[in-house]
Structure 1
Amino acid sequence: MGLFSKAKDAMGAAQQAAQQAGQQAQAAAAQQQAGQQPGQQPGYVHVEGAGPVDPAAFGGPSTRSVAEDDPIWEPINGISLQDYADLSREAQARGVTDEAGMIALAQERGLTAADTKAALDGWIARMGQSQAVGQQFRRFLGY
């Protein structure tokens, strides 16, 4: 390869590097104009000094930690989150996929249909309030 070929190749590489740098600068400018920090994932807006946004502010489950003595952990009609997880694990093992089947399994354990229905609805509602409840439920299930 001659001297001119090497120079031509070097110039081509330099032009390509300059083009890539220009594209990166344009992307960073577009992100900054959209309120994002360079390199931040598209669709997320960076607000200086703001921490993560809690989905509870928009009607989703909260991501805040929950104290062990918080009332959210209290049993519902005598059915704890651990009881609910045990019932769910048994239902899964026995191929039960609906609420009526869950209630029937609970009745086999001596629980009333009304108490079980209230607990099923209540624990699902609490999981909708706090991700911590759902995470604990999955731990109890063994996931």
Structure 2
Amino acid sequence: MGLFNKAKQAAEQAAQQMQQTGQPPQQQGGDGYVHVQGAGPIDPAVFGGPSTASVANDDPIWEPINGISLQDYADLAKECQARGVNDEAGMITVAQEKGWTAEDTKAALDGWVARMGQSQAVGQQFRRFLGY
């Protein structure tokens, strides 16, 4: 029986118990969740979302994109926010003032957003760099 079938079966049993007794089933820990032995948290990457797995500091996902690090991208985003710039074209213009090429900036903007879509760790680090 697969993991999802076990979870479905456990949920059905919990629903039956609640119908019969009028009380939610007593679960280990009393947290209100139906626990299935062998089932743990499911990484959203399984369904095409960003992974919740931790990422090592030397993982290639942290490598700069065309010379633009995640810190650089966050600094650019903060500067653009302070200046009221809220579109990609404006961000590229501000980046050019820093000496970055439009092509490198576009690659970095697209690349860092894609990496955030692969790993929540990247998005969390980006928000830390922004000061959130």
Q: TM-score, normalised by structure 2?
A: 0.78
User: For this pair of structures, how many residues does the alignment match?
Assistant: 113
Query: Is there any run of 5+ residues in structure 1 with no aligned partner, and where?
Result: 1-21
Q: Which structure's CA Rg is the greater one?
A: 1
Partner of 1:85: 74
Aligned-pair CA distance for 1:48: 2.0
Aligned-pair CA distance for 1:27: 4.3
Partner of 1:112: 101
Aligned-pair CA distance for 1:24: 9.7
**Aligned mates of 2:56, 2:92 — CA distance in 1:** 30
Letter in 2 for 1:128: G
Percent of matched pairs sharing the same residue: 79
Is contact 1:107-1:113 (8 Å) kept? yes
Partner of 1:16: none
**Aligned mates of 1:75, 1:97 — CA distance in 2:** 23
Is contact 1:28-1:38 (8 Å) kept? no
After superposition, where does 1:1-143 map in structure 2 within 5 Å? Answer: 25-28=21-24, 39-40=32-33, 46-143=35-132
**Aligned mates of 2:54, 2:117 — CA distance in 1:** 14
Residues 107 and 49 of structure 1: is their aligned pair in 2 closer, same or farther, counting only changes over 3 Å? same
**Aligned mates of 1:24, 1:108 — CA distance in 2:** 69
**Aligned mates of 2:98, 2:70 — CA distance in 1:** 16
Residues 76 and 28 of structure 1: is their aligned pair in 2 closer, same or farther, counting only changes over 3 Å? same
Query: Is there any run of 5+ residues in structure 2 with no aligned partner, and where?
Result: 1-17
Q: TM-score, normalised by structure 1?
A: 0.72
Alpha-carbon RMSD: 2.4
